[in-house]
Structure 1
């Protein structure tokens, strides 16, 4: 069982996933700091000095802090947009690489066809 567990952990997919989670957590904290310290204060200035993080409604003894919810939504949208741009960039690089590979394959195919024709002509003679 221990041997199987070591093999499972040593797989590339598991290690890639672990690295991705760690980088994602670090990226999330960077984006949260950007939103908290740069974007939300600027949005607050444009909206007349409103600080979203302090927005709350008090109902009896319960405090509903909807400003923090708004801030979390902005965090999510920025993270999602950043990941979208990153994935789009990676996909465009992959498409360019695939196009170059297809061109190389086409050249090889033409040569193969030509060599086949020459071989067939030599067989006929």
Structure 2
């Protein structure tokens, strides 16, 4: 069982996936910091110094200064400001992933285009023959 697990864990795709998850988590933390520490303060300048992280509804109907104050009072809250910040995080992350996939796809297409085709199949016997051939060396059919 240990040998099977080792074989499974050390497969190339599994290691690639693990590296991708680790890099993705680090990138997610980076985007979260970008949104929380740079983008949201800039947005709050345009919205009258509104702090999105402190926008919430207290479920008991009373007003509280902060989410922490409501939590300390034992009141359930709907933290829509945190949700707005998470949506902005998601949009930025999705856009960056889109750009990354687009760039990788472009690189793969260039690699595929770089492969030069030097052979074709004979339409009669399906043998691989040079592109310049006018007659198949295998079945001697004339080629157009």
Band of TM-score, shorter chain: 0.7 to 0.9
Q: How does 1:38-117 map to 2 (within 5 A)?
A: 38-60=38-60, 61-101=75-115, 104-105=116-117, 108-109=118-119, 112-115=130-133, 117=135
SS of residue in 1 equivalent to 2:58 = strand
**Which contiguous aligned blocks of 4+ residues in structure 1 show a shift greater than 2 angstroms?**
113-120
The number of residues matched between the two structures is 116
- Measure how far apart 1:66 and its partner are: 0.9
- Structure 1 portions without partners, runs of 5+: 121-125
- Relative distance call for 1:116 and 1:34 in structure 2 (3 A) is same
The offset of 1:116, in angstroms, is 5.6
Equivalents in 2 of 1:73, 1:56: separation in Å?
16
Residue segments in structure 2 that go unaligned for 5+ positions in a row: 61-74, 121-128
> TM (normalized to structure 1)?
0.83
**Structure-2 separation of matches of 1:86 and 1:42:** 26
SS at match of 2:77: strand
Q: Map Cα deviations across residues 50-109 of structure 1 (whole Å, 9 max, x no partner).
A: 1111111112122221100111111111111110100000001111221221xx11xx13
**d(CA) in 2 for partners of 1:28 and 1:113?**
50
In structure 2, the CA distance between the partners of 1:113 and 1:17, relative to structure 1 (3 Å rule), is closer
1:10 is aligned to 10
Deviation for aligned residue 1:115: 4.5
